[in-house]
Structure 1
C-alpha cells in the first residue's frame, strides 16, 4: 500500500515561491488553534455539505474551549496512527496548520504542567476543600448554563453562601486541635492556589492571543514543534510524528480526487457550470479514413496549450500562472463517510503513475472505474479562492466529446478571520460621572481559571478529557479547507473571477483539440461551428448547481 512503510521525507527542500503569497486561508485556519472562545462557536462555520458536531461530555466543568477542541480534533484526525484518507486542502498548506495545532498544544502543556503542580500543592493535599469548591463551581455552571458568560443570580448567591460558611469556620469551630487547623486551611488553600493559577493562565492567554492576532495580520511567529525533530534513531515517537507530517504533505500532493455527487469534487467545491462539444469524427477527404489517434493525444495537446494561459496579446495583467495537472477522479457516494485512495503497483506515494493515467484516459470512458480529467487550477485572493476547470475527452463509436466543467471553492468562514477583541467594560468616571471610560478586564475569568486548573492534571491522557468534557467531531470525509469553506458567489469580485476564467479555458481547449483533429485528417467544420455555439453558451453570467439534475 502506498501509505504504509514509506518515508515521505523529500530530504533537502527548496522553498516553493509559487505558494509564498497563498497564506490567508492557511493562517485563518491555523489561528483557530489559539482561540479561547466557546467550542460551540465553530458550529457557525458549518456549510451546506459539511457539518461539525460538538459531542458533550459528562461534566461541563471539563469542557474544552474552541482552541483546545480544534487542536485536539485536527491532530487526531491528521496524525493518528489508523487515520482515514484525507481530502486535499487546495489553497492552503495543511502541514502548517497542523504544526500550529501542535505548537498550541505544546504551549498549553507547559501551562498545564504548572497548573498541575499548583493543583497538587494546594488541592490534592487539601482534597476535601478542593472537591467542595469543584462541586460549587460545577453547580454554578449547571445553573447558569455552560456557555453563558454571566453566572446568574442563583449561582452568585450560592458562592456568597459558601463564602459566608467558610468565614464562619475560620473564626469558630465546634472542635479544636490539628483537625480544626486542617479544616481552616483546607477551605482557604484552594483560593490561594486559584490566585497563583490565575497568573499562569493570564500569561498564557496573552501569548496565545498574540499568536492569533499575528497570524491574521499576515505574519506571526512560526509554529515550533521540537517533538517532530528526532535527536537520535531511538526516539520513535518523534520519528513517527515527523513521518506523519511528511505523509500529510505527500497526500496533499496526490493526483487522485473524489466525486461525491451533488457535493462535487471533494476539496474543489461544487460544479457550477458545464459546457460540452460533441461531434462526429468524419474524414475531410471522402473515401479516406482518418488517422488513428487516442484521447490522450488530444488531452496532451490541451495540456500544453493550457500552460500558456498566462500569456496574452495585451499587457493587461490577466491570468496568473495556473496549475495544470492530470487528475484521476473516483466516484463516491454523496453521504460517504470515508474515501479510499487508489492502491497497488501503479501508485507510489499517493501519486498515480503516468502510464496508468494514460490507460485510464484512453480506455475507462464508459461503465465502471475511475475517470481521467485534466485540471486547470487558479489559486487567487491570497489562497481564499480556488477556481478549478476540469476537462475530459471521450471517444465513443464515432463521436468525440470534450467537456469542460467549472468548480469553485470559496473563502474560509468569517469565523476564522475574526481577530481577538480586548475584553473591556464601559464605566463612568469617578468625578465626571457623565463621562465614560473603557476599562480593560482580565483575559481569564474566575470560572475559566477553575476550568483550566481542573483539566490540567488530566492532560496526560486526552481520551479521558474527551470523555469527561466532550470533544469536537469533524465532518467526514475530512479536509482542512473544504470543511469550513463558504460559497464564493456572495463576494462580487470572487464570483466575477470564477466566471471569467471559464471562457478562455474553454476556447483554448477547443482550439487545441481542433488542431489535433486537423492533423489527423478529421473534418473540423462541424467542430468549429459547435465550438462557436458553446462559446456563446459560456457567456451566461449565472452560476448554477450543475450537479443537481432536475429529473
Structure 2
C-alpha cells in the first residue's frame, strides 16, 4: 500500500495494491450514501439508529456513519479497535473525512443562504419550518394519509405567503418587510436546492465508483499541516498514523463462541499429540523450549508461497506471532496490556517469546502462531493458528482453522433512482412506476436547517440523533458472515488447510529428529492419522460444544 505524501501541497490519493480492495472500497462507500438512517441501520447487525429530538435535524445514513466512525476511530481516550483483517481501516476513515469535508463545503454555502434569506426573515422562516416539521410528524404518526395532510399544511403556508405579498396588514417599511418575510425563504429554498442537488450528485458518483471497484481518491487536506504551528492538522495526521499502527497489533482477543475477534469463528481443528521419548539408541534427547519448535514451524509456513510446481505457490502468505487474551462472549470492550512489554499497541518480541515458553495450564494469555490468507479481493479471510504446548512430558500441537466470510451485502449496493408505483390514469387497477427527483423539498429543508450547526456536531447529534456502533468495534468482523454460502470460498478454506497441516507436520518431524526424539514409534503413526483426518476435513463449529 502506498501512503500519502503528507507535505503541504497537492494531495496524493491513497491506493491499495494489496488483496483487500473490494472490502475496503465497499465499506468506504458507506460514507457517501444518502439512505434513511432508520432503514439502513436496520440492515446492519448491531448498528442502532439513535433517535433525536426533531425529525428535521435527523442525519441520513452517510452523514451518521461518517460521524460515528470518525469519532470511534479518532476520538480521544477511545477504546482499542478490533483489527480489521482484509480491510484498510485507515483508508475507510479517510473516505469518511473526505465525505465530511464535501458536506462541510455544502453546509458553508447553505449557512450563508440561511442567514440571508432565513435569519433576516425569521418570522416567515419559522412558519415554513413549522409547516415542514408538522408534515414530518404526520408522516411518522399517520403514514397512510401523510401525503394529503402534508399537502394541506404546505398549501396553508403558501396561501399565507401570497396573502402577505399581495395585501400586507401594515404599510411603510413594515409592510415591505411583511411582503418578503414569507417569500425570501422560498428564494433561499431555490438556491439551496441547487447546492444540495450538486453535492448529492457528487457524493453518489463517488459511492458508485467505489462499489464498482474504481479508484476514488480520499483526499484529506485537513491532515496536511500548513506550517509548524498547525497543531490541529498535525494531531489528525498523528491519529491516522496511530490508527494504521494499531491495526497491525499482535495482541488478539478470544471471545468464546465468537472465536478470535477479527478472524472469525473456529471451523476446524487438528491435533498431533504424543509423549516425548528419546530416539532408538539414545539415552536422552536434547532439551528445547516451545518457542524453538514455533520458529521451525514458522519457517515452513512462510515457504508456502514457494512451490516446485509452476504457479502453485500460495499468494500473499502472512505468518504472524500472536498473543491471545480471553474475553467474554458478551464483552463490550477489549483492552491491551499497558506495561514495559508493550511498544504502543504491539507486544515486544521478547515478551511474545516468554509467553510462548510459559506454562499455560494455570491460565493467562497464550501464544498463537497465525498464518493468514486474504482471498477473493478481501472478501474472505482465512486464518490458521498453531499452538505448541508441553505438559507432563507430552507434546501437544494444535492447528485450528478460522474463517471470516464476505462483508454484509448492503455495502455493495449501488445507488438507485428514487421511484414509486402509482395507479394508471385510465386503467386505475394497474400500476406504473414513476421516477422521483433525486432531492425533494423535505431533503432541501433538512439540509438547510442542519447546515448552520455543522461546527457544533454535539448539538447536531442531540437535535437529530445519530448512529450507534456495536462493540467491541472493528470494521470487518461485526458485518461479516460465514463463507460456507459460497462454494468457491468454502473450497478455498478446505483446500488451503492441507498444505498448512502438511507444513506443520514436516516441520515437527524435522525438529524432533534434530533433537534426538523418537518419531518412528510415536509421532509417525500420529502424523499419519492427522493427515488422514485432514483428508476428510469439513467445516464445523468447534467452539459450540453440543455434547
Do these two structures clear the TM 0.5 threshold for a shared fold by scoring above it?
yes
Residue in 2 aligned with 1:34? 32
- Following superposition, the deviation at residue 423 of structure 1 comes to 3.5
1:1-28 deviation per Cα after TM superposition (whole angstroms, max 9, x unaligned): xxxxxxxx9999xx99994342110000
Residues 1:243 and 2:238 aligned together: yes
Residues 1:412 and 2:369 aligned together: no
Does the residue aligned with 2:545 lie in a helix, a strand or coil?
coil
Residues 1:542 and 2:528 aligned together: no
Residues 1:24 and 2:19 aligned together: no
Q: Go from structure 1 to structure 2 and tell me whether the alpha carbon gap of 1:452 and 1:271 turns closer, same or farther (over 3 Å shift).
A: same
Residue in 2 aligned with 1:128? 123
Moved more, 398-407 or 345-354: 345-354
Does the residue aligned with 2:26 lie in a helix, a strand or coil?
helix
Does the residue aligned with 1:544 lie in a helix, a strand or coil?
coil
Q: Go from structure 1 to structure 2 and tell me whether the alpha carbon gap of 1:52 and 1:364 turns closer, same or farther (over 3 Å shift).
A: farther
Distance 1:200 1:211 in 2: 17
CA contact (8 A) 1:44 1:415 kept: no
Residue in 2 aligned with 1:480? 475
1:447-470 deviation per Cα after TM superposition (whole angstroms, max 9, x unaligned): 000000000011111000110000
1:165-202 deviation per Cα after TM superposition (whole angstroms, max 9, x unaligned): 33333333444333333223111111111000000001
- 1:139 aligns with one of 123, 130, 134: 134
Residue in 2 aligned with 1:206? 201
Distance 2:161 2:16 in 1: 65
- 1:55 aligns with one of 33, 40, 50: 50
Residue in 2 aligned with 1:112? 107
CA contact (8 A) 2:168 2:179 kept: no
Point out where structure 2 has 5 or more consecutive residues left out of the alignment.
Answer: 8-12, 426-430
Distance 1:445 1:149 in 2: 19
Q: Go from structure 1 to structure 2 and tell me whether the alpha carbon gap of 1:91 and 1:19 turns closer, same or farther (over 3 Å shift).
A: farther
Distance 2:119 2:14 in 1: 52
CA contact (8 A) 2:325 2:364 kept: yes
Distance 1:85 1:283 in 2: 47
1:22-45 deviation per Cα after TM superposition (whole angstroms, max 9, x unaligned): 211000000100011111244344
Distance 2:458 2:14 in 1: 38
Q: Go from structure 1 to structure 2 and tell me whether the alpha carbon gap of 1:216 and 1:146 turns closer, same or farther (over 3 Å shift).
A: farther
CA contact (8 A) 1:269 1:482 kept: yes
User: How large is the RMSD of aligned CA atoms in angstroms?
Assistant: 2.8
- Following superposition, the deviation at residue 203 of structure 1 comes to 0.5
Please give the residue correspondences for 1:59-458 in structure 2 after superposition, counting only pairs within 5 Å: 59-145=54-140, 151-285=146-280, 288-315=283-310, 317-423=312-418, 441-458=436-453
Does the residue aligned with 2:226 lie in a helix, a strand or coil?
coil
Q: Go from structure 1 to structure 2 and tell me whether the alpha carbon gap of 1:270 and 1:149 turns closer, same or farther (over 3 Å shift).
A: farther
CA contact (8 A) 2:24 2:88 kept: yes
- Following superposition, the deviation at residue 437 of structure 1 comes to 11
CA contact (8 A) 1:364 1:371 kept: no
Residue in 1 aligned with 2:509? 514
- Following superposition, the deviation at residue 116 of structure 1 comes to 0.4
Q: Go from structure 1 to structure 2 and tell me whether the alpha carbon gap of 1:22 and 1:501 turns closer, same or farther (over 3 Å shift).
A: same
Residue in 2 aligned with 1:529? 525
CA contact (8 A) 1:202 1:442 kept: no
TM-score scaled by structure 1? 0.91
Q: Go from structure 1 to structure 2 and tell me whether the alpha carbon gap of 1:469 and 1:148 turns closer, same or farther (over 3 Å shift).
A: farther
CA contact (8 A) 1:338 1:477 kept: yes
- Following superposition, the deviation at residue 514 of structure 1 comes to 1.6
